[in-house]
Amino acid sequence: MALKDVIGQESAVKILESAILNHKVASAYLFQGYSGIGKYFTALNFAKALNCTRRPARKGFRAGEENGAGADACDDCPSCGRIEAGIHPDVAIIRPEKGVIKIEEIRKLEETLSLCSYEGGYKAAIVDDAHLMNDKAANAFLKCLEEPPAGSVIVLVSSNPERLPVTIRSRCLALAFKPLSAGLMESLLKDRIKDPEKRHALIGLSMGRPGLVIEKGGKGGDILKKRQEFVKSLLQMLAGSRGNPSWSDKEEIEEFMDGLELCLRDMLVLRTTGKEELLLNPALPEKVKSLGKAASEEVIIDCYRGIAGIKNSLVYNPNKSILWNYTAGLLGRLANPGDPYGEGKSRN
Ligand SMILES: [Zn+2]
């Protein structure tokens, strides 16, 4: 795989390729956006492109011509192979363990970046789910960002960038990754999932996030079940059901809130354009569609902001029942915009 295989993220890829071609690679990037939309995949292929020893020629140049190398990896040379396999000595890949990135991991990253490059290319570090760094790790990491070793590049990957300290975010070049349109999802999945009915259902339920479908063995894995649970919880909330969440951990709450944000995005699209073909989730429940058409833009945007606030608050491990009721209250405003408590009746 290479940067050319990244689908639906043209603007981010264009910025990265232009940085490579113009030798203006930033010392730190922040790839931000929902989970499952290709941020990590892009980071890995960016590291491959930076270190590839046989980058194919760009348009108008012959192979081997001076300054003729393109910006993408060949996906064939030993360097590309080692990065793909996660064993390249100049590329550190940091991931959370049991939901947290500790200072020991950041020390490993420092070591990789501070040593001379083994293979003469870039030294790169990819920090997946970077918002899961604990305070000690974040402080140590900040020092790396303040004095980046020459010829090194760090890519932070995060679906919750607001949870990273501002001091870290402000030192990174942020690139936004977006959910994919239903049309792109269809072209991406049509060879993997032959049954059109199942494919259509998965496209609807994954809401523009191909990683949710592809990562689990390429057949949709348990996403159907998960997304059906999401829709069930959402409808319960919209019906005013209080305080009995089925969320088992913080990760599930986060997933629910991500799904909710995407639903609100689709509601806003319906409200402003009325065009169902522009929805990320063509299988949006009728109840959600009708709320989207009826609620004011202001209320939908307010709800969206509220959900973003909830996601930030998850760092404090809030009580699940209180969180459920609070979220249900926010959504209640979609049906009853004049009711600050979302209970469908006045409090006085
Ligand atoms: Zn290569």
Least confident of 67-81, 223-237, 300-314: 223-237
User: 339 pLDDT band (50/70/90 cuts)?
Assistant: low
Q: In angstroms, what is the span from residue 235 Cα to ligand 1's centroid?
A: 49
Structure confidence at residue 214 as a pLDDT band (50, 70, 90): confident
Do 149 and 236 belong to one domain?
no
Q: Which residue has the higher pLDDT, 285 or 341?
A: 285
Q: Which helix (H) or strand (E) covers residue 197, if one does?
A: helix 196-206
Residues in the chain: 348
**What is the whole-number distance in angstroms between the Cα of residue 166 and the centre of ligand 1?**
35
Q: How far is the CA of 179 from the centre of ligand 1 (A)?
A: 28
| Shared domain check, 171 and 29 | yes
40 and 172 both lie in a single domain: yes
Whether 341 has a pLDDT exceeding 70, the answer reads no
CA distance 151 to 125: 12
Alpha carbon distance 197, 248 (integer Å) = 30
Rounded to the nearest angstrom, the distance between the alpha carbon of 75 and the centre of ligand 1 is 5
Residue given tokens 């918002």 in the structure block: 131
Residue 287 domain flag: yes
Position 220 scores a pLDDT of 54
Instruction: State how far the Cα of 157 lies from the Cα of 178, in Å rounded to an integer.
Output: 13
Q: How far is the CA of 77 from the centre of ligand 1 (A)?
A: 4
Q: Say if residue 21 is in the same domain as residue 160.
A: yes
> Does residue 320 sit within a domain?
yes
What's the confidence (pLDDT) of residue 204?
78
Element (H, E) at 9: none
With a pLDDT cut of 90, the percent of the chain lying above it is: 49
* Region of poorest pLDDT, from 123-127, 172-176, 258-262: 258-262
Pairing of strands 173-176, 152-158: unpaired
Domains in the chain, number: 2
**Domain check: are 95 and 121 in the same one?**
yes
Model-wide pTM > 0.85: no
- Is the model more confident about 313 or about 346? 313
CB atoms near residue 111 (< 10 Å): 10
Q: Return d(Cα 163, Cα 156) in angstroms, integer.
A: 13
User: Is 156 among the domain residues?
Assistant: yes
Q: How far is the CA of 187 from the centre of ligand 1 (A)?
A: 27
Q: Using the mean position of ligand 1's atoms as its centre, give its distance from the Cα of residue 205 in Å.
A: 36
Please determine, for residue 217, whether its predicted confidence score (pLDDT) is greater than 60.
Answer: no
Chosen domain end from 144, 176, 208:
176
User: What is the rounded average pLDDT of the residues 29-35?
Assistant: 95
Ligand 1 centroid to residue 306 C-alpha, Å: 45
Q: How much distance in Å is there from the Cα of 220 to the middle of ligand 1?
A: 31
Domain edge (last residue) among 152, 176, 200:
176
User: Do residue 194 and residue 316 come from a single domain?
Assistant: yes
> Separation of 76 CA from ligand 1 center, angstroms?
5
Q: Report the distance separating Cα 103 and Cα 151, nearest Å.
A: 23
CA of 1 to the centre of ligand 1 (A): 10
Amino acid, single-letter form, for residue 1: M
The answer to whether residue 346 sits within a structural domain is no
Please state, in angstroms and rounded to a whole number, the distance separating the CA atoms of residues 267 and 216: 28
Please give the distance, rounded to the nearest whole angstrom, from the Cα atom of residue 138 to the centre of ligand 1: 32
- Residue 272 is encoded by which pair of tokens? 């402003």
- List the CATH number of the domain containing 147: 3.40.50.300
Asked whether 28 and 171 are in contact (CB, 8 A), the reply is: yes
- 263-282 per-position pLDDT tens digit: 998 899 989 998 888 888 87
Residue 54 CA to ligand 1 centre (angstroms): 5
Ligand 1 centroid to 14 CA: how many Å? 19
Residues 284 and 240 in one domain: yes
Let me know whether 239 and 120 are in one domain.
Answer: no
Same domain, 9 and 155: yes
Same domain? For 172 and 197 the reply is: no
> Of 92-96, 101-105, 212-216, which gets the smallest average pLDDT?
212-216
- For residue 51, report the distance from its CA to the centre of ligand 1, in Å: 7
Separation CA 50–CA 47 (nearest Å):
5
Q: What distance in angstroms lies between residue 55's CA and the mean position of ligand 1's atoms? A: 6
Q: What is the CATH number of the domain that holds 212?
A: 1.20.272
Q: What integer best gives the mean pLDDT of the chain?
A: 87
Please check whether residue 340 lies inside any domain of the structure.
no
Contact (CB, 8 A) for 168 and 140: no
Of the residues 176, 197, 216, which one is the last residue of a structural domain? 176
Q: Once rounded to an integer, what is the mean pLDDT over residues 131-152?
A: 93
Give the Å distance between the CA of 46 and the centre of ligand 1. Answer: 11
Asked, for residue 345, whether it belongs to a domain, the answer is no
What is the pLDDT confidence band of residue 347, given thresholds at 50, 70 and 90? very low
How far apart are the CA of 156 and the centre of ligand 1, in A? 23
pLDDT (0 to 100) of residue 292: 83
C-alpha 130 to ligand 1 mean position (Å): 27
Q: Which residue has the tokens 């679906």?
A: 159
Q: Which amino acid is residue 336, in one-letter code?
A: N
For residue 25, how far is its CA from the centre of ligand 1 (angstroms)?
18
Residue 279: inside a domain, yes or no? yes
- What pLDDT shows up at residue 75? 96
Question: Is the domain of 110 the same as that of 223?
Answer: no
Whether 160 and 34 map to the same domain: the answer is: yes
Task: Provide the pLDDT confidence category of residue 337 given band limits of 50, 70 and 90.
Answer: low
Provide the domain limits for residue 45. Answer: 3-176
Give a yes or no: residue 342 inside a domain: no
Q: Which of 194-208, 269-283, 321-335 has the highest mean pLDDT?
A: 321-335
